[in-house]
A = this chain, B = another copy of it.
Amino acid sequence: MSEHLDRLQRALGYRFRDDSLLRRALTHRSAGPDNNERLEFLGDGLLNLVMGEAVFMRQPKSAEGDLSRLRVTLVREEALAVAARRIDLGEVMLLGSGELKSGGFRRDSILADGLEALIGAVYLDSGFAEARQLCLHLFAPELEHLPDPATLKDAKTRLQERLQAVSRPLPEYTVLSEDGPPHRRVFRVRCRLPDDGGESEGEGASRKIAEQQSAERMLQRLSTSGERHA
């Protein structure tokens, strides 16, 4: 085990003064009461701040909404799990026997929580500067290749901005139907462009999802027809 912990700390670029903090950070709640849940709470706040600061600095012209969307791509569970796998975190997590058998060490949520807990543990072990450094180190590949914020906007926003850019009126969304039992509702929505009468439809488990799908399809139609007319 100690060899594993050595390897992990080399991958982190950080050596713990207090080994008990490191062990707690690696202990999933299934493995006992002295687990990483509280450290995860602390690490979550740290990671959120440091990634927020990183996009703030790297995108000096971006508005708040773009910064928020960029940060979400960095701190969502799947992104954390990717970073956790880069340092082979699954191999050193301590899980209860049930989680072990069901392959919990491969699960995104357990890896993401463990990574946040490590960040929180470094903060308690050494303070903000070291925890910040660790966050930047863990997410260096993602920070080097930040996506274009414009691609992160939801479909309704992109459609609205695209129409406004050429002074066209805003699309109208109408619920066409709402079927199924209360716990498995299906909404169908129509997106209509009032000036040329173009229409698309979307469906989903909520009106919001259905609207987004109808907007996505309208964007595709506009792109296709744009190419044809170009």
Contact = CB atoms under 8 A, between A and B. Distances in A.
Interface of A: 37-38, 40-42, 44-46, 48-49, 52-53, 56, 62-64, 67-68, 123, 128-129, 132, 175, 178, 182, 207
A64 B53 CA distance: 25
26 contacts: A37-B64, A38-B56, A38-B62, A38-B63, A38-B64, A38-B67, A40-B64, A41-B52, A41-B56, A41-B64, A41-B68, A42-B56, A44-B52, A45-B45, A45-B48, A45-B49, A45-B52, A46-B49, A48-B48, A48-B49, A49-B49, A53-B123, A128-B129, A128-B132, A175-B182, A182-B207
A53 B40 CA distance: 11
Contacts of A46: 49
Contacts of A42: 52-53, 56
Given A128-B128, A182-B175, A182-B207, A53 B63 contact: no
Oligomeric state, in number of copies?
2
Chief secondary structure at chain A's binding surface:
helix
A64 B40 CA distance: 8
A128 B123 CA distance: 13
Contacts of A123: 53
Nearest to A182: B175
Nearest to A36: B64
A48 to B, nearest CB: 5
Nearest to A46: B49
A115 to B, nearest CB: 15
Contacts of A63: 37-38
Contact of A53 (B45, B56, B175): B45
